[in-house]
Amino acid sequence: MKIKEFIVVEGKDDTTTIKRAVDADTIETNGSAVNQSTIEKVRRAQETRGVIIFTDPDFPGEKIRKTIAAAVPGCKHAFLPKEAAIAKNGKGLGVEHASPEAIREALRDAQMMREMIAEEISQDDLLTAGLIGGDGAKERRIRLGELLKIGYTNGKQLHKRLMMFQISRQEFAEALSVVRQEEHNE
């Protein structure tokens, strides 16, 4: 599988793992303190071939994603579910621990964040759906993020991410229905 866009990753181990899964070029941020030189590389890459931001599913990875997305509009975003990014020994979390299949799936599902659109899904909808506060809300958000391919978010971030990815009320309802059905079957 050949990827046209540059893939922004956190470090060398991520690059090695990506190259085992797909034919692609990467840009390494070398940590969460993204410097101006890296931003300029990403900006140039976006202008020439496009960019997919593919960072670890943790706080530092999300910080890098937000920093780059704010500085370089129009990037695509690939997300790994946390369980696909856990080291075999259980002592690490990151892209470098993912299987080639999980990498390919995340890249296939890479999406473009868009400018904020008119609100289709309100905070009240999220509260009513049991996605904010209460027992099981975090687990529901994790599963919803997987189904919608928007990654994990905390309660505050969920609404913004739904709007940025232009998730329609119908897409939201369908994914929520799956989450509820899975809960019912447990």
pLDDT of residue 116: 46
- In a domain, residue 78? The reply is yes
- In a domain, residue 14? The reply is yes
96 and 137 share one domain: no
Helix or strand or coil: residue 167? coil
167 and 99 share one domain: no
Residues of the chain with pLDDT under 70: 113-119
What is the radius of gyration, based on Cα positions, of the chain?
17
87 and 53 share one domain: yes
Choosing from 83, 112, 141, the residue where a domain stops is 112
Burial of 82 (0-12, 13-18, 19+ CB in 10 A): middle
157 and 108 share one domain: no
How far is 116 from 114, CA to CA, in rounded Å?
Answer: 6
103 and 28 share one domain: yes
56 and 14 share one domain: yes
- In a domain, residue 31? The reply is yes
pLDDT of residue 149: 85
Number of domains making up the chain: 2
How far is 41 from 64, CA to CA, in rounded Å?
Answer: 14
Choosing from 112, 143, 164, the residue where a domain stops is 112
96 and 129 share one domain: no
- CATH code for position 78: 3.40.50.140
- In a domain, residue 117? The reply is no
pLDDT digits (tens, 9 = 90+) for 165-174: 888 889 999 9
Token reading at 17: 């793992």
26 and 55 share one domain: yes
Residue 101 belongs to domain spanning: 6-112
pLDDT of residue 114: 54
Choosing from 92, 112, 132, the residue where a domain stops is 112
pLDDT digits (tens, 9 = 90+) for 62-88: 899 989 998 998 999 999 988 889 888
The DSSP call for residue 81 is -
